[in-house]
Amino acid sequence: MSRPLIIGSRGSKLALWQAEQARTRLQSLNPQLDVHIEIIKTTGDVKNDPLSVIGGKGVFTKELEDTLLDGRIDLAVHSLKDLPTILPDGLSISAICEREDPRDALVLRAESAGSSHGSLLHLPHGAVVGTSSQRRLAQLKSLRSDVVVRDLRGNVDTRIRKLDEGQYDAVILASAGLVRLGLHERISARIEINEMLPAVGQGAIAIETNSDNEFAVQITSRLDHRETRLACLAERAFLRGLGGGCQFPIAAHAVLEGDMLKLDGLVAKPDGSLILRESSSGSPDDPEAVGSSLASQLIDRGARALL
């Protein structure tokens, strides 16, 4: 290119870490390439209301997508779980990078950090747990109806600070974000998939491009990780089939095992009093069919009424 390749990113530490990773990998593919990062504020960054109030779907991505469409940036780097399942016309996901640990993590106060005794089941009766996720809230209340769940907003550092100040007894965060920020020692327990299903696309980084920008599409597609893409396409098709977003208690996790793509998914009442969970499997040649099939199964069991 005769000009620098511009990456658009949110300004949080985690978002910038992800953008820097993309820049490093792109320059390793083309050492002569000049790559810049431009920070763009999104609605989700400037408003402190709960996601269910400000509209969880797209609040961390819309402004980035607008700058992609008008050509001010060449690619946007997202946490895939923040990216709506239906993209604006003219935009596409040119790469889904290899996934980090998709599980949720239980984080206790600093004096208990790293304790091997930390787990959801060992939290004291009536413990105050922080999360902004309806998905985590529903599954947590299903496991521990006695705990008190309070809304928790802010970047990872802010959430951990609030925990250590005593505002919460524990918080639940994504393992991937903690690992990427070098905070793995704060993980008291990784919550297993059979105990708490993660968000759709959790742990994966997506590269979004303007379909008309052939150079950006071509070079970023080399960052794609096939196994991660197949799993995430199935998960996103499941979410799209239910018509939900990240502000709803919907969860899914897919894995490629041999020649089969296996997908677990659930829909819950926000208070965790009812959880519908099913599994599906199919050919990795059509991951979206696997996701759509599972969505249909849960719709048949009454999922739409829960949403």
Kindly list the catalytic residues.
82
Decide: helix, strand or coil at residue 277: strand
Q: What are phi and psi of 129, to 5 degrees?
A: -115, 135
In the block, which residue shows the tokens 């400000």?
A: 54
d(CA 307, CA 305): 5
Residues 187, 107 contacting (CB under 8 angstroms): yes
In the block, which residue shows the tokens 């071509």?
A: 218
User: What are the beta bridge partners of residue 96?
Assistant: 206
Q: Which residues contact 203 (CB under 8 A, 6 or more apart)?
A: 99, 100, 101, 102, 103, 174, 175, 176
If you ran DSSP here, which 8-state letter would residue 44 be given? Answer: H
- List the structure tokens of 273: 């009093």
| 185 CB-contact burial (10 Å; exposed 0-12 / middle 13-18 / buried 19+) | exposed
Reading across the β-sheet that carries 170-174, which strands appear in turn? 148-150, 128-130, 170-174, 104-108, 189-191
Residues 81, 51 contacting (CB under 8 angstroms): no
